[in-house]
Amino acid sequence: MATRANREIYSDFRNDFAIHPVKKDILKNTNENAVKQSIMNILQTSQGERLFEPTFGGDLRAYLFENVTPLTEKSIHNAIISTIQNYEPRAGLIDVIVSANPDLNHYSVSITFYVINKEEPVQLDFVLDRVR
């Protein structure tokens, strides 16, 4: 019997579609990992990229070719907050920290949230940088 602490509430396929070596099923992310993956997918989606939903996505790539300034840092911060609040109902936002690093031409992002129906906070850290 599953207890409340380890019960599977949310699940989603992994982005790499990895296959379980014995069961031959597609592996999945559950609970916090599923919500983390969803937030990353939403933030990395450019607006207009999804058919029939032109406003969907964080559109963070648009900020990466701007000058590294406090205004751009604040714009990224606001875009992350509004995107998560609008498109990820499973996450309750606690804090978003965006730190610019002009020498490396990237932004460090730290998002703290909780998954609905869970008590403990979850930390998601990543770096936004240009690939080209």
The mean pLDDT value for 13-36 works out to 73
DSSP E strands, the chain: 11-13, 28-30, 91-101, 106-115, 121-129
Rg of the chain over Cα atoms, rounded to whole angstroms, equals: 17
- Distance from C-alpha of 22 to C-alpha of 13, rounded to nearest angstrom: 17
Q: Which domains does the chain have, with CATH numbers?
A: 21-129 (3.10.450.40)
Handedness of CA 73, 74, 78, 84 (dihedral sign): positive
Contact 115, 31 (CB under 8 A): yes
Question: Which amino acid does the sequence have at 46?
Answer: S
Which has more confidence, 23 or 115? 115
**pLDDT one-digit tens code per residue, 32-53:** 788 888 898 899 999 888 889 8
